[in-house]
Amino acid sequence: MHNPNATPATVPRPWWQYGHVWLVISGPAVVVIASFITFYLAASGQDPVIEEDYYRKGIEINKTLRDSPASLAPATQARNHAATGVQAPK
């Protein structure tokens, strides 16, 4: 007997035809692609060359700064003000 009120059986769709599946997959896929791009940029970029006598140049800079403390007066006052919150003398 044929029932006229019966609904036809629905055939399930394959998983790739559902939009929310692609939404779930796209997040991790974008992260993986971005990590490969980041690795490429890190591996292909060149690091800056440090001079051979960088230590000696640093010592010379420290000597010149130590010899002229008047030029550092505003910076020293600002540092002290930031550390203590006390007004600098006028």
Question: Is residue 75 in some structural domain?
Answer: no
Domain extent, residue 25, equals: 18-44
**How does residue 86 score in pLDDT terms, banded at 50, 70 and 90?**
low
Question: Is residue 30 in some structural domain?
Answer: yes
**Per-residue pLDDT tens digits for 27-82:** 999 999 999 999 999 999 877 777 888 888 888 888 887 777 666 667 777 777 76
DSSP string over 48-59: PPPPTTHHHHHH
The token pair that represents 12 in the structure block: 């399930």
Question: Is residue 90 in some structural domain?
Answer: no
Query: Does residue 88 have a pLDDT over 60?
Result: no
Q: Could you tell me the pTM of the whole model?
A: 0.44
Question: Is residue 2 in some structural domain?
Answer: no
- Cα–Cα distance between 6 and 67 in angstroms, integer? 98
Number of domains in the chain: 1
Query: Does residue 1 have a pLDDT over 60?
Result: no
Question: Is residue 24 in some structural domain?
Answer: yes
Report the candidate in 58, 61, 83, 90 with the shortest Cα–Cα distance to residue 75: 83
Q: What is the pLDDT of residue 49?
A: 76
- Residue 6 sits at φ, ψ, to 5 deg, of -75, 140
Which ranges of 13-72 does DSSP label H, i.e. alpha helix? 19-44, 54-67
